[in-house]
């Protein structure tokens, strides 16, 4: 755990041609019955996550658990999340873990979020929203060894309600992306979220942020176009992409073969990205 640098971990995975991020959104109600039978709620989540990690760890550039699915289970869920992070660090120490928590508050409150995510859970990166500005996010940005991933253009259908609002003719999501790249990235540890469900906007963001890493959600059940995501999201080195698929990988099968099915989806996604990135 010590001396881990998130950006270096990501760069090493990208150098191997790995851009798939598996979202460990392990909602207990959706777990296969064979897994639920393996123990209580916390034990079942851990069993499921371990199997997914074992099946996909050689294919991915990152794992991204969304904290909501663990918080929903109370203390046992949070302990399952911590056990999952520890397991990834144990069996796949070169694979960074992103906590998808979309945090941000006033600075003092953010100190608590930082301590929870980085010091207690031990994750390498976290998603945050920009609404309170750079000053409030300083506790996150000051963690030079971690990656701070700022929401710019999200993948949900209603994203444009605020993100498309124009300020002096420029959409808000573009202002956020450029601000992060030019003003917030002092420590070289920033990235931005740009959804695959909006490929044109994704391309605009890539132009604005240069080689800043992009977390690209929206592949799989949300219907994002993987080929467009690669062509519009890659940086000048054909790297810099964290392309996420959550439920499409996790719940590819509801039978005892769920891990093998997850591996097959992740493998196809990896293969497709490799082909698209050569075009």
279 residues of the chain, pLDDT tens digit each? 467 999 999 999 999 999 999 999 999 999 999 999 988 999 999 999 999 999 999 999 999 999 999 999 999 999 999 999 999 999 999 999 999 999 999 989 999 999 999 999 999 999 999 999 999 999 999 999 999 999 999 999 999 999 999 999 999 999 999 999 999 999 999 999 999 999 999 999 999 999 999 999 999 888 999 999 999 999 999 999 999 999 999 999 999 999 999 999 999 999 999 999 999
Q: What is the pTM (predicted TM-score) of this model?
A: 0.98
Q: What is the pLDDT of residue 96?
A: 98
Q: Which domains does the chain have, with CATH numbers?
A: 6-277 (3.20.20.70)
Q: What is the pLDDT of residue 1?
A: 47
Q: What is the pLDDT of residue 191?
A: 98
Contact 254, 267 (CB under 8 A): no
Burial class of residue 84 (count of CB atoms within 10 Å of its CB; 0-12, 13-18, 19+): buried
- Among 102, 134, 138, 228, the one annotated catalytic: 102
Q: Render the chain in DSSP notation, one character per residue.
A: -TT--HHHHHHHHHHTT--EEE-----GGGS-HHHHTTSSHHHHHHHHHHHHHHHHTTTEEEE--BHHHHHTTTHHHHHHHHHHHHHHHHH-TTS-BEEEEEE--SHHHHHHHHIIIIIII--SEEEE--TTHHHHTHHHHT-TTSEEEEEEE-SSTTTHHHHT-EETTEEHHHHHHHHIIIII-TTS-EEEEE-TT-HHHHHHHHHHHTT--EEE---STT---HHHHHHHH--TTS--EEEEESHHHHTS-SSTTHHHHHHHHHHHHHHHHHHHHT-
82 is catalytic: no
Residues 6+ apart with CB under 8 A from 222: 155, 195, 196, 197
């Amino acid at each position: 755990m010590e001396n881990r640098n998130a950006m270096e971990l990501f760069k090493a995975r990208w150098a191997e041609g790995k851009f798939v991020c598996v979202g460990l959104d392990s909602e207990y109600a959706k777990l296969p019955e064979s897994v639920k039978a393996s123990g209580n709620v916390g034990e079942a989540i851990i069993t499921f996550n371990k199997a997914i990690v074992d099946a996909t760890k050689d294919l991915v550039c990152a794992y991204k658990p969304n904290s909501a699915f663990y918080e929903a289970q109370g203390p046992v869920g949070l302990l399952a999340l911590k056990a999952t992070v520890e397991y990834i660090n144990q069996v796949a120490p070169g694979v960074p873990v992103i906590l998808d928590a979309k945090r941000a508050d006033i600075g003092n409150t953010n100190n608590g979020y930082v301590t929870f995510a980085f010091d207690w859970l031990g994750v390498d990166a976290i998603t945050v929203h920009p609404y309170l500005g750079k000053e409030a996010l300083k506790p996150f940005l000051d963690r030079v060894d971690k990656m701070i991933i700022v929401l710019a253009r999200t993948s949900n259908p209603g994203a444009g309600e605020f993100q498309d609002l124009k300020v002096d003719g420029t959409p808000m999501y573009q202002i956020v992306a450029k601000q992060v790249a030019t003003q917030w990235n002092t420590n070289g540890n920033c990235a931005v979220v740009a959804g695959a469900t909006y490929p044109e906007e994704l391309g605009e963001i890539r132009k604005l942020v240069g080689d800043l890493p992009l977390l690209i959600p929206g592949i799989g059940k949300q219907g994002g176009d993987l080929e467009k995501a690669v062509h519009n999201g890659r940086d000048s080195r054909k790297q810099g992409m964290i392309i996420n698929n959550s439920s499409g990988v996790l719940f590819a099968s509801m039978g005892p073969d769920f891990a093998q099915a997850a591996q097959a989806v992740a493998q196809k996604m990896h293969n497709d990205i490799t082909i698209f990135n050569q075009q």
